[in-house]
Amino acid sequence: MQYEGEYAQKLTATEDAAKLVKSGMWIDLGFFMGIAYLMEEEIAERADELEDVKIRTTGFHLEPQTVKADPEQKHFIFNDFFIMKRERRYYDMGCLSHIPFNFHDEPRVYREFLKDEVDIAFMEVTPMDRGGYFNFGVGLAAQKAICDVAKTVVVEVNRLMPWVPGGYDESIHISDVDFIVENEKYEIPELGNPDATDVDKKIAENVAPLIENGSTIQLGIGGMPNIIGQLLIEHGKKDLGIHTEMFTDSMADLIEEGVVTGKKKSLNPGKAVHCFAAGSRRMYDFMDHNISLAGFPVDYTNDPYIISQNEKQVAINSAIVVDLTGQVCSETAGYRHISGTGGQLDFTLGAYMSKGGKAFTCLHSTYKTKDGKMESRIVPCLKYGDAVTVPRSITSYVATEYGVVNLKGRSCGERAKLLISIAHPDFRDELEREAEEKNIIPKALRRRKR
């Protein structure tokens, strides 16, 4: 191979690569399942030697060792664009910060606003090919943009990373890499597909019939979007396409079953477009060198104007609560961060703008508190600290296990009535009473009798 000599010259021990980190630096660790987890662990080992090292990442799936080693933030300041399950307790302890953003903005944020604040980029990649390229595999959302502005680029080679064909910015050449480390310890993390509950299945059954043949789909994270994928197979849907941010196990199933062909896509026909993937090892193996897939950076996949170019684009995302005027909160419970905005707003807007498109916000009608009390997820108003993920002016379809309603073009009073109709029956009278007291439902729409 032409580049073997250069590879050997740049190959570095992980402990030596970790020593590149100096006090006061900004370092980036990559994205979701494509994070340089081995290097993060090595950097954590140097905690006592370092001060004021600022770390950025997106969707850290494993235990963050730099936070675990330094919960008082005396050495590391850990920042994440999308809070994951194992990070929440650290956020609750006050030793982890969230960076709000719309997902499609990430490459621009780096190239324009953070271009002088990336001292070292540590990126997980595939082994190098014969042309000297490393592929970002399952996490290419903004990896190339980060590398483009970084003062130093270190790639962490993982032989288990699938090589995913792409549109652009899916790979980096060895000439743009300063150091190479080899990760023989960490596999690509797998995202377990939670078992769908009976409520998930009912919501999916409400939504699936509204997805037409020839639609292009985006599915969010969780059990319910996955069960929708399975129902699309059972319902005999035909010639679906994929334009999404996250590629999932259910999407691999849809392709293998012939339900997804991409033949009817207006944009990138025949290709399942995505910017990252999270799922099982079986799915990662399916993705490897699979030319039916096309990985793009997130400023392409999640740009609402790009999304809207697919006719019949369907977006399916989850929510924590929805208020009676249609404000959607999907990322916080009060001031406590659960996740992040991600691409929900991007796809809700893009799917609505699409000719024949539909954007669904899906949620269980109720949840249980720690003390076992049942509460409604459809609420009169958001509470203090709840982040508005999707403004009411953009929300369209909302689905629970009790049905699907479309809020577009409806007054606040009409919206309240519609949302109450798909709330849990035990809460409908209370919701209507509060909506009337707050004048969300005006006199003309109020019931004459209780």
Query: Mind telling me the catalytic residues?
Result: 245
Separation between Cα atoms, residue 104 and residue 267, nearest integer Å:
18
CA distances from 20 to 46, 47, 55, 125, 379 (A): 11, 13, 14, 19, 50
Instruction: Report the Cα 182 to chain-centroid distance in Å.
Output: 27
Please tell me what DSSP assigns to residue 137: T
Strands, DSSP E only, in 158-284? 171-173, 179-182, 216-219, 241-242, 246-247, 272-274, 276-277
Q: Which residues pair with 266 in a beta bridge?
A: none
CB 365 within 8 A of CB 378: yes
249-256 and 223-234 are packed helices; what angle lies between their axes, rounded to 10 degrees? 10
C-alpha dihedral, 397 to 228 to 367 to 420, nearest 10°: 30
Q: Which of 251, 252, 195 is nearest to 223 (CA)?
A: 195
Separation between Cα atoms, residue 450 and residue 436, nearest integer Å:
12
Separation between Cα atoms, residue 273 and residue 284, nearest integer Å:
15
Separation between Cα atoms, residue 7 and residue 337, nearest integer Å:
41
Residues contacting 338, CB < 8 A, separation 6+: 83, 88, 320, 331, 332
Separation between Cα atoms, residue 71 and residue 430, nearest integer Å:
43
Separation between Cα atoms, residue 121 and residue 154, nearest integer Å:
6
Q: Helices in 322-378 by DSSP H: which ranges? A: 344-353
